[in-house]
């Protein structure tokens, strides 16, 4: 089972699927956060039905709990018991979530090509590969800033200063180098 948190900006009204004459509220998957991605950071405030906070703090993926549950869940937090977490999810408690994860709707709106945790080429420094740690969004001009694990300029990069890694091409180049090194070793042994 996946754990999905829905951003209220994705709510929209439409006809009920089985009774088109009636209206209902739909939740757009584009405005959802799917817990558990690599490099994601979550801090949450969970409210019960009466509006009281039942948990406030970080959420960290617990691989041991997930294994004990025979991988039925894609996300179980270290900070809460499995029973508590599943109860909160089942009751659909309201939450305030602070995360570095970006919804698909925002990725489309801002034309974001990279993701948190993705390994990319640092074209600004040409020093090699870096990992995207965070993405910031500018509201005025729909600007995007990437924060990578580099000390240069405190890790800040514009979208044109990083590029995708062509893993297939890199693999083929490595295989070619290995083959050349093998042939060179064979020739030197003769």
- Backbone phi, psi, residue 84, to 5°: -60, -50
pLDDT at 190: 63
Which stretches in the chain have pLDDT values below 70?
Answer: 1-2, 190
Give the pairing type, strands 42-47 and 94-99: antiparallel
- Rounded to the nearest 10°, the torsion over CA 45, 50, 51, 55 is -20
Distances (CA, A) of 164 to 115, 170, 176: 11, 12, 21
Closest CA to 148 of 126, 172, 122, 170: 122
Provide the 3-class DSSP secondary structure of residue 17.
Answer: coil
Q: What is the pLDDT of residue 29?
A: 85
Predicted pLDDT of residue 123: 94
Q: Are 35 and 97 in contact (CB under 8 A)?
A: no
Cβ contacts of residue 145 below 8 Å, gap of 6+? 135, 136, 137, 138, 156, 157, 158
CA distance 99 to 135: 10
At 115, list the tokens: 């993701």
Q: Is 22 helix (H, G, I), strand (E, B) or coil?
A: coil
pTM for the complete prediction? 0.73
Quote the pLDDT of residue 2: 66
Question: What's the token pair of residue 190?
Answer: 């003769």
């Amino acid at each position: 089972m996946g754990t999905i948190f829905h951003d209220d900006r994705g709510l929209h009204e439409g006809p009920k699927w089985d009774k088109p004459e009636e209206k209902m509220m739909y939740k757009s998957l584009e405005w959802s956060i799917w817990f558990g991605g690599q490099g994601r950071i979550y801090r949450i405030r969970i409210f019960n039905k009466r509006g009281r906070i039942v948990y406030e703090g970080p959420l960290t993926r617990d691989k041991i709990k997930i294994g004990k549950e025979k991988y039925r869940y894609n996300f179980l937090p270290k900070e809460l018991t499995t029973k508590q977490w599943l109860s909160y999810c089942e009751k659909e408690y309201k939450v305030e979530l602070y995360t570095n994860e970006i919804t698909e709707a925002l990725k489309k709106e801002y034309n974001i090509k990279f993701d948190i945790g993705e390994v990319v080429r640092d074209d600004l420094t040409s020093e090699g590969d870096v990992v995207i740690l965070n993405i910031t969004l500018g509201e005025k001009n729909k600007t995007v800033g990437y924060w990578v694990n580099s000390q240069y300029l405190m890790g800040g990069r514009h979208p044109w200063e990083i590029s995708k890694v062509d893993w297939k091409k890199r693999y083929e180049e490595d295989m070619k180098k290995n083959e050349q090194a093998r042939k060179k070793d064979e020739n030197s042994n003769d």
